[in-house]
Every structure is written in structure tokens, then in C-alpha cells.
Amino acid sequence: MKRPILTIAIVATTFFSQAQKKTIDQRVDSVLKLMTLEEKAGQMNQYNGPWAATGPLTNDDKLIDQIKEGKVGSMLNTTGAVRTRDLQQLALQSRLKIPLLFGQDVVHGYRTIFPIPLAEAASWNLEAMERSARIAAIEASAAGVHWTFAPMVDISRDPRWGRVMEGAGEDPFLGSLIAKARVKGFLGKGFGNTDAVMACAKHFAAYGAAIGGRDYNSVDMSLRQLWETYLPPFKAAAEAGAATFMNSFNDLNGIPATGNGYLQREILKGKWNFKGFVVSDWGSVGEMINHGFVKDNKEAAMSAANAGSDMDMESRAYIQNLPQLVKEGKVKLTVVDDAVRRILKKKFEMGLFDDPFKYSSEEREKQQWNNADHLKAERDMAKKSIVLLKNDRQTLPISKQTKTIALIGPFIKAKSDNLGFWSYDWPDDSARIVSVWDGVKSKVGTDTKMLYAKGCNINDTSTAGFAEAIEMAKQADVIVMNVGEARDMSGEAKSKSSIRLPGVQEDLIKAMQATGKPVVVMINAGRPLIFNWVADNVPAILYTWWLGTEAGNAIADVLFGDYNPSAKLPMTFPLTEGQIPIYYNYYNTGRPATSDSDRFYRSAYIDLSLYPKYAFGHGLSYTSFSYSDITLSNSTIKSTEKLIAKMTLTNAGNFDGEETVQLYIRDLFGSVVRPVKELKGFQKVFLKKGESKEVMFTLTVDDLRFYNDKLQYIYEPGDFKLFIGGSSDKTKEADFKLVK
């Protein structure tokens, strides 16, 4: 028995060493030819490592034996140079010595934790987001990670859904640009470099539209809406070089995404000609039984493989059933071969056949462990992500000469709660995470007295700490509060029906406001929250999300004016949960409301305002910007011509600052109705105080395209409006016409 195995191993090794001369496709084929059906199923099988879990575990495998038998193609939640090296050694004991791929949710940083993706999206700063992804890739790849399950590019219009924290918000245009920037960042200089990791655009598709914002729930939507709103960031990610896609837990119009041939075969691998591979979500192949779509794991394997899911994460459906399904003719060998080819191709492109250990370098891992440049970049990204929601009477910035500052609230001294949901608990972490207390302390001089009271816990009913907080507040010149959600209150399986400030935190704010001292409230959260009393009564509010390792330093930069906030909301903030879903790019309806007093012409509620609390694109600066009227190069353009829109932006306030100038269009009459506004461009413009600058946008017919009722991506001649402003609800406008 031993001899043939040895012979095949030698043949395989020879194949690999001669391989340089061959193209990757030829090399893939030469390996494929040697593989048994069982080994092919093995490549399509992904297991969780025994160290951490991000889903319900099945602990019934003899993992080591299976790796040695070539029954595992990839592992997740397995990081660290030593662990990945050890497991790779086992894979190299298999008959064909095909290396393992190590995947991990490196969603907003690995060792250096960056702001959660929704916070980064608020920066509207594509370069900074690309750099953040780059750093995540450098750190993760040094720890043996080949592949990140990011970016998450799900559009969502529902802040009740806990996973909005992982995405880029509600807008397909902004979401597409961010998807691209992140994929580019993960890839760096490209495959073959030891610091490039494969990206994974997830969750394909429409997961963010779960009914009622309840995680894992069904999605029911028109295909036109799917194409118009939910697919664009996926397309952008594929075009930017995402090596893989992950399908999703939800069913889409009755077909689970994992078994959905329309999504995976027709759109992704067909129309978009995607050459990478698709991994299932955790257990989503097997979960099709619960959906009521298939009766057992075998049928699940058949459905998922035939629909184009190439790798099975944690269902064990492929490894246990695919060989038999092929023998029975229920899954064609060509389907299996295509999936295995796609997977092997990535392993070749990553250089793993040439050096299976190239990513697992303890030395590199050590160098990246506490990298000062990375922390600096994190601080920069974090301050760019902070949104100034309100600043009456110029309460902010606070003077560094302030005599006494009372720092109040359950997050002032928090450490790991600054990290957010998809972050890792490293053993020595808390010393590195900068709390607000530490950040402020390193900013002010010794003449400034800092007082502290926690006031209350994040999520209980006790007001016992209020008295101490009031005592501190009374002695202070300014009260700085940090309230919000703990890091596990938004994220996967964290949907909420009430998105108010948890516990008695709002009451604590009321008690502080009652002291008559100026109050600044900073809100940590993974989603838009509702805090109307605070918004209406407290003079200054900063939305501080979950900002990562350097949170406290970034916050101090903003509090004391060393950085002038420039972020803008990537999601609409509702007035109450009853308004959800609420988003800026809605259709006008036949009875559009123009004001809250409109009784008949209102597609709104009688007991609620039409308007959200904060609009998409809202975000203030310590300075103020004024917008001139818009001038257009022409009021009529042909489809072959460009339209140039110009306006002058002036920094009319007392601080230097950066504005995010936003351009929207509205197609007034279409063969299908069009949104009242659609973002089509934006620019970040830095101006010194008193300075003015002309800002110019160029539009072509491609910016005016949309999906018609036949799902064709067309433009139609007709009348348009163009809007430019600092928020979706505060714009100047101009009209133009598109002719043939």
C-alpha cells in the first residue's frame, strides 16, 4: 500500500517544482488531475480551529487525522505563526501536500484595532480606509492569516439590525467606493507579497435587508431594488479584486442565498465573470434544512454546490456527501472540478504551493505586534471618524486651559469597550487601549483638574452613582460625558427593537444638564441610536462609535480642537424606531409630503414627523462652510458629453477645517420611479479660515444610469436636478436636461 502513495507524492512534488514554467491554470489542472473525489471534497471543506469560535461549534471531528488525510482545504479562527505553521505541517503530510488556507474575520484591524467599519465610513475618507485595511492585512498576514472575511459590504437601512456596525451604511454609491478601497487595502501590492491577504465580500446578498432588522431573517425584495441598492458594492468589490465572496444566512425571495443559483451562478460567476471562489457562511449549507429548503445535509450539499457555493464553512455537508452525490449523478463532476479549480487557483496565486509557510513568520509577527506607525494611523482614522452632531454656543472645542473638567459616564475609563464587536481579546490588551480618561490626561496641563465619576453602569437601573457625579459636575467648568453601548450590544445576532441609550444613561445626562454647566456628550455605539432628549437639550454631541485602540487619544484631539471634526453620517438617524426603515434615497410616492402639517399628501405617520433626527450626510465642523450657487457648464447635455458642475466653498468660521462636499442627482421622470436624491460624488476639501475654493464635479451619462424594469442598466433622456451641499438635507440645486 505504501509504494503507490509515495510515488504519487513524488510525482506531485515534481509537478510543483517544475511549476514555475507553467501558468497558474496549468498548475491547477496538473494538481486536479491527481486528485480523488474525496480529496476534491476535502478542498471544498472548511473547519473552525479549536481555539475560538464565531458560530455554533460541532466538535465531532478528528481534526488532525482529517487534515492529514487531505479532507480539509481551509481553516478559520486559526491564527498565529506557530499554530498556522503546525497545522500546515499536517496538511503537508497528506497525499498531495496541498496547503491549507487560513481565514479569519479581520474586520476592523487585527492587533491594532481600528474604528468599526460604520465609523470609518463616516470619515468618507477612502484613502484612510484603504490604509486601515492595509495595516490590518500587514498584521494579520504576519500571523499566518491568508484570507480575511471582509469587507462586509451589506447595505442596510435598518439600525435595529446589529450588523450595521460592520458595513458602510445605507448608500450604494458610498458603499461601493468604500468596498473598493478596503479590497485594495487588503490586497496591497497584490498576490505573491507576504503582506497581501485575500478579501471576501460578504454577505451575498441582501443580508442587510432582513425583515424587521432581525438578524438571519428572510429578505423579500424586488430584483430591481436588489440591483439598484444592494448589489452595487458587491460588484465594486469583485471589480477591485476581491478573491472570494461569502454567501449569506438569509433567504432571498424564498431561496436561501447559499442555495441560490441566481445570485451565485447567474450574477456573480455569470454576468460578473467572477473568477474567485464562494465560501458559505458559518453552517449556512446545513441551515438550509431549517429554512425548509432541503431535507438533510446531503440535499443541502447538493443544493449549495449546484448553486455555486464552492466551500462549505462548518456544515460538514460537502465532506460527508459530495463524493456520493457525484457518484449518484446529482452533482456533476464538472461542478466539483470548477469549485476545486477556483480554490486551488487562489492557493497558487498566494504562493502557498511554492512556500506553504511563507505567511507564518514568528519574526514578522513580533515586529507587527505593537507597531507605533500602525497606532498612529489608527488614531488618525479614529479622529476622522468622529461625527460632530451638534455644537451650540461653540461649546466645543474645550480650551486646554480649562481649570476643572468633570469626566462622567460609564465609558470614561473603559478600555475594551472601545474596540467594538469584531475585535480580539489579546492577553495584554488593556494596557494598550487608550481610554478617554488617559487621552484627556495626556492632552491637558497640570493646571487642569480632572474629576471623575462613573455615574452609572451601562445597562442597569441603579441611579446610586448619580449623587457623586452631580457633586463632581458642580465643581467643574465643563462636563464631558461618555455614554452608549457596550461592545457586544451591536454586531452579529445583536438586533434590537429599542435603540435608545441603554440603562439609566439618559437620566444621568439629564442630571448633569440640570447643574447648568456646559455639557458635552459623547456617544459610543455600533449603530445609529435614538437620544432625542439629549439631542434637543444638550449643547454639544459627538458620535464616537467604537473607535479602537487609540480611541481616547483621538477623542481628546477632537475635544480640545487639535483636530476639527469632518465626518458625516453614512446612515440616517431616526427620530423613533417607528420610522424605520428611513433613508434619504426614497421614492417620492404619489402623495409626497412637503411638511409635517400636510394632512393628505403625506406618505408618513400622523403621530410622527416626516423627518429623521439626523439626515444622511450630516456632520458639523468647528468652523462653518458656506456654499455659493451652482453653475453648470450647460443646461442641456448630450449622452456623449460631460456635465461640469461648479460652486465656491468658503470657510466662513474661525477654524481651519475640512468639509465633505456632496453631490446628489434626481432623475425627475423615469420609466421606473427614481429616488428623490442619489449620491453621485463627493470631495473632501480642506480650507483655512476665511479661504474660498472652487469645487468642481464632472458627470457623465454613466452617473445617470439605472436599472429599468427589465434590469437593464440604462439612461433615459429627460430632466434632472443636481444638488450640492454639506448634507443630504441641506443642498443648493440646479436643473439640467439630458438629450440623445
Distance, CA of 294 to CA of 552 (rounded, Å): 50
Name the phi and psi angles at 661, rounded to 5: -85, 125
CB closest to ligand BGC, residue no: 54
Nearer CB in complex with ligand BGC: 313/663: 313
User: According to CB under 6 A, which residues from 618 to 677 bind ligand BGC?
Assistant: none
492 binds ligand BGC per the rule CB under 6 A:
yes
CA distances from 212 to 152, 216, 366, 585 (A): 20, 11, 45, 19
Least distance CB 55 / ligand BGC (angstroms): 4
SS3 per-residue string spanning 128-141:
HHHHHHHHHHHHHH
Choose between 139 and 166: whose C-beta lies nearer to ligand BGC. 166
By beta-carbon proximity to ligand BGC, the closer residue of 492 and 658 is: 492
Closest CB to ligand BGC among residues 149, 543: 149
Minimum CB separation from ligand BGC for residue 234, in Å? Answer: 14
Q: Which is nearer to ligand BGC, 492 or 506 (CB)?
A: 492
- φ/ψ bin of 673: left (φ > 0), alpha (ψ from -120 to 50), beta (otherwise): beta
Q: How far apart are CA 205 and CA 224, in angstroms?
A: 14
Residue 496 binds to ligand BGC (criterion: CB under 6 A): no
Q: At what angle do helices 317-327 and 297-307 cross, to 10 degrees?
A: 80
Quick note: the x/- pattern for ligand BGC over 155-194, rule CB under 6 A, is ----------------------------------------
d(CA 149, CA 105) in angstroms, rounded, equals 5
Question: With helix as H, strand as E and coil as C, how does 97-121 read?
Answer: CCCCEEEECCCCECCCECCCHHHHH
Least distance from C-beta 100 to ligand BGC, angstroms? Answer: 16
Dist. CA 334–CA 696, nearest whole Å: 52
The CB-of-159 to ligand BGC minimum distance in angstroms stands at 18
Binding to ligand BGC by CB under 6 A, coded x per residue (else -) over 274-313, reads -------xx-------------------------------
One-letter amino acid identity for 418? N
CA distance 487 to 479: 24
From the CB of 76, what's the least distance to ligand BGC, in Å? 6
- In this structure, the number of other CB atoms found within 10 A of the CB of residue 528 comes to 28
Q: Please identify which residue in the block is written with the cell numbers 461653540.
A: 394
Half-sphere exposure of 335 (CA within 13 A, CB side): 24
Is the Cβ–Cβ distance between 40 and 336 less than 8 Å?
A: yes
Q: What is the DSSP string of 320-387?
A: HHHHHHHHTTSS-HHHHHHHHHHHHHHHHHTTTTT-TTTTB-HHHHHHHHT-HHHHHHHHHHHHHH-E
Q: Which residue has the cell 480611541?
A: 551
Residue of the chain from 30, 37, 54, 255 that contacts ligand BGC (CB under 6 A): 54
Residues of this chain, 67-106, that bind ligand BGC according to CB under 6 A: 76, 105
Quick check: helix, strand or coil at residue 260? coil
Rounded CA separation 112/381 (Å): 12
Nearer to ligand BGC, 54 or 459 (CB): 54
Question: Per-residue contact track with ligand BGC, 111 to 150, x per CB under 6 A?
Answer: --------------------------------------x-
Minimum CB–partner distance for residue 293 and ligand BGC (Å): 18
| 55 is an interface residue for ligand BGC by CB under 6 A | yes
Query: CA-to-CA distance for 349 and 367, rounded, in angstroms?
Result: 25
* Catalytic one of 105, 195, 251, 281: 281
| Residue 482: partners with Cβ closer than 8 Å, 6 or more residues away | 407, 408, 409, 410, 411, 412, 414, 436, 522, 524, 544, 555
User: Which residue matches cell numbers 494598550?
Assistant: 432
643-651 and 692-699: which strand pairing? antiparallel
488 versus 729: smaller Cβ distance to ligand BGC: 488
Given a contact cutoff of 8 angstroms between Cβ atoms, the answer to whether 208 and 216 are in contact is no
Sheet with 636-638, side-by-side order of all strands: 636-638, 730-739, 718-727, 657-667, 678-687
How far is Cα of residue 610 from the mean position of the Cα atoms in its chain?
Answer: 28
* Least gap, CB of 48 to ligand BGC (angstroms): 8
At closest approach, how far in Å is the CB of 660 from ligand BGC?
A: 29
Cβ 525 to ligand BGC shortest distance, Å: 20
Residue linked to cell 500602525: 374
Q: Rule CB under 6 A: choose which of 71, 157, 202, 666 binds ligand BGC.
A: 202
Within residues 219-248, the interface with ligand BGC by CB under 6 A covers: none
As to burial, measured by CB atoms within 10 angstroms (0-12 exposed, 13-18 middle, 19+ buried), residue 616 is: buried
Dist CA 97 CA 102 (whole Å): 15
Tell me how far, at minimum, the Cβ of 53 lies from ligand BGC, in Å: 8
Catalytic annotation on 460?
A: no
Query: What H or E segment, with its residue span, contains residue 660?
Result: strand 657-667
**Minimum distance of ligand BGC from residue 250's CB (angstroms):** 11
- Tell me how far, at minimum, the Cβ of 405 lies from ligand BGC, in Å: 40
* Residue with Cβ nearer ligand BGC (365 or 492): 492
Instruction: Give me the torsion for CA of 79, 81, 86, 91, rounded to 10°.
Output: 70
CA distance 88 to 358: 11
Nearer to ligand BGC, 149 or 622 (CB): 149
Strand partners, 404: 449
H or E segment and range at residue 30 = helix 24-34
Nearer to ligand BGC, 282 or 682 (CB): 282
Q: Which is nearer to ligand BGC, 203 or 379 (CB)?
A: 203
Write out the residues near ligand BGC by the rule CB under 6 A. Answer: 54-55, 76, 105, 149, 202, 281-282, 492
Provide the annotated active-site residues.
281
